[in-house]
Amino acid sequence: MFEEGQYFAPVVARTDGTLAVQLGEGHPGLNDPEYRERRDLLATQADRWSAGEPAPHVEYTDEEHEVWRVVCEDLRDKHRAYACGEFLDGKEALQLPDDHVPQLEDLSDRIEPMTGFRYRPAAGLVPLREFYGALAERAFWATQYVRHHSVPLYTPEPDVLHEVVGHGNTLADSRFTELYAAAGAAARRVESTEALEFVSKVFWFTLEFGVVHEPDGLKAYGAGILSSPGEIEEFRGMTIHPLDLAAMGRQTYDITRYQEVLFAARSFAEVQDVVGGFWTDCDDDSIAALSAAGTASSTGR
């Protein structure tokens, strides 16, 4: 399920120890040598980071700050209209700057007193068990690069805007972070690849692309929607199913495109109860039973 994103921008090591980000065909920055050099530099810095050290300080350019400003300005009113109340509470608490890209270390220092979470710098996509396992330690792996300036309102892969505008606002609210930590504990508890992928799919369709019914309409709580100026306007027109763990576990998706199938909770409390309860209690056997029940239901048996 993550193959699409890894194929789109895998990170490989050069003989001199630096990293090269291999941008896929169709990537906005593919034919921009300056952008590619920048991506390689930031990936290398993140790769050389060690636990206990501050996240690498990035000297963002005026162009990168402008991309941040454009995206934040575009999302300001859209968040008011389409974000769920819990996300807006986190956003109010964190008070992200809208005119410049903040440093991960500064954000960690602000978030940690609120919920105990800190950022860790990532060179690229992090293996599933490592990414989710860190959540159990209240650590969130995040990239530091900015999407290509030619299309500021679009990115085919998670960039710092996704990590901070999407996830950062949720990391500042304990109702979200209890879910993150529970997902991390579940990822550490399960042993099989199949069970780990099931845990990650539930994460994908909730904390990345979850939606919830509120009295004034369908709202988003997933970071993938809330950090995307385009997707936040489109999600209500997608195929919306009720919250269903088994269906999430068998649903396929493409990380590089708008999500066509979403799962809506009746309230955020239902997310906490159903999804949080699943991550708190699940193991390989319970996930296998849930998967089997879901398969049987989908085939009419």
Q: Which active-site residues does the annotation give?
A: 162, 167, 208, 227
Token representation of residue 195: 């069970």
Which residues, other chains included, contact 181 with Cβ-Cβ below 8 Å and sequence gap of 6+? Answer: 135, 136, 138
Nearest to 223 by CA among 239, 201, 240, 208: 208
Rounded CA-CA distance 282/285 in Å is 8
Rounded CA-CA distance 149/28 in Å is 9
**Chain centroid to CA 252: how far?**
17
- SS3 label, residue 12: strand
Phi, psi of 225 (to 5 degrees): -75, -45
Rounded CA-CA distance 256/154 in Å is 10
Query: Which amino acid would we find at residue 178?
Result: E
The single residue listed with the structure tokens 């069970």 is: 195
Nearest to 258 by CA among 227, 226, 225, 220: 225
- SS3 label, residue 258: coil
Query: Do residues 210 and 276 lie in contact, with contact meaning Cβ atoms separated by under 8 Å?
Result: no
Token representation of residue 287: 């996930």
Rounded CA-CA distance 194/181 in Å is 20
